[in-house]
């Protein structure tokens, strides 16, 4: 069978990606056969010129991680991006960002289709990275812009139900109970709760700056959280801490909560779902609006408010609507 590809060029994998293989050289060719770009790439490879481009995705990642934008990211945001950067370095680290096209981003997405959440997160990271490339003048257009995300197949996060909240309170003690009440009572992310110090607390609430959004918030205490804090011994600067007073890590916090979750059968409800529970509780109270939820959670996006508290808001409004209908049809009393 006659080959349609030039010497040393082979199609590999299910997608049929083209590679130049000669001697110790194995390099992917991103241009299409029959184009002038392909002819130039092939001629360059035949001459043995396989040096990485001056601009590469790997170098772009290095620059981005030294930028002020990176420094302003919360710890968990950086950790998530770093995980995706490792993938990008391995699969496309030597590619010039200027040669990256939207079709290549879709190829990456489809190659990860069996893990849609992971695929979507990698697209999010690439979107941010390419936005930075535009910012520093490496490219003129972001190839990851407006990429359609895959539909997640996993379970959607839901707020903790009231019975499991009470079951946790009945089972937990010590630091696990304190952490649980801090998360539920403040409605904040785990990183922000672990950063809270006794000096952030006055008689009525916490003053804090969220790590992710940089929103400055004042969070009044609930009666339950006030009682828990009043009974807590101060061991150091941080409220949730080790026996020696030092701040605990996220893995330690996760272990504390997970131990109790397993005992009460709450494996489906994680730490972040306590933030959902706080937002949902507020939204379920008649008269509470998205602004009230936002005042506690610090969300700036209406879409995120709907994600966190939409079901509870709908239920509260539906209850009010049905009550209004019943009140309207009740016979008026004669005076």
How much is the pLDDT for 1? 46
The segments of the chain whose pLDDT lies below 70 read: 1-2, 24, 49-53, 153-155, 299-322, 325, 328-329, 331-335
In this structure, are residues 5 and 38 in contact, taking their beta carbons and an 8 Å threshold? no
How much is the pLDDT for 114? 81
Stated pTM of the model: 0.59
Beta bridge partners of 309: none
Q: Which two tokens stand for residue 264?
A: 């009460």
How much is the pLDDT for 11? 87
Q: Which two tokens stand for residue 2?
A: 């006659």
How much is the pLDDT for 205? 92
């Amino acid at each position: 069978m006659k080959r349609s590809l030039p010497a040393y060029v082979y199609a590999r994998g299910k997608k049929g990606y083209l590679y130049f293989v000669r001697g110790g050289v194995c390099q992917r060719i991103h241009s299409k056969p029959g184009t002038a770009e392909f002819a130039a790439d092939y001629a360059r490879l035949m001459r043995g010129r396989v040096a990485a481009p001056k601009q590469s995705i790997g170098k772009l990642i290095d620059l981005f991680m030294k930028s002020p934008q990176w420094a302003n990211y919360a710890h968990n945001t950086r950790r998530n991006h770093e995980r995706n950067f490792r993938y990008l370095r391995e699969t496309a680290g030597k590619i010039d960002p200027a040669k990256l096209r939207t079709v290549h981003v879709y190829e990456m997405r489809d190659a990860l289709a069996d893990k849609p959440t992971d695929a979507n997160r990698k697209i999010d990271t690439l979107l941010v990275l390419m936005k930075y490339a535009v910012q520093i003048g490496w490219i003129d257009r972001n190839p990851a812009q407006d990429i359609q995300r895959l539909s997640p197949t996993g379970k959607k996060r839901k707020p903790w139900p009231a019975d499991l909240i009470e079951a946790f309170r009945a089972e937990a003690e010590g630091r696990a109970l304190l952490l649980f009440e801090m998360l539920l009572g403040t409605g904040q992310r785990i990183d922000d709760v672990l950063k809270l110090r006794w000096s952030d607390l006055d008689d009525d609430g916490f003053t804090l700056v969220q790590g992710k959004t940089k929103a400055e918030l004042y969070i009044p205490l609930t009666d339950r959280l006030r009682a828990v804090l009043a009974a807590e011994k101060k061991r150091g600067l941080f409220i949730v801490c080790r026996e020696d007073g030092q701040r605990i890590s996220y893995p330690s916090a996760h272990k504390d909560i997970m131990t109790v979750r397993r005992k009460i059968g709450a494996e489906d409800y994680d730490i972040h779902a306590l933030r959902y529970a706080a937002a949902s509780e507020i939204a379920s109270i008649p008269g509470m609006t998205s602004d009230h939820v936002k005042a506690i959670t610090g969300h700036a996006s209406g879409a995120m408010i709907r994600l966190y508290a939409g079901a509870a808001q709908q239920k509260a409004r539906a209850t009010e609507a049905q009550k209004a209908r019943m009140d309207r049809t009740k016979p008026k009393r004669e005076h």
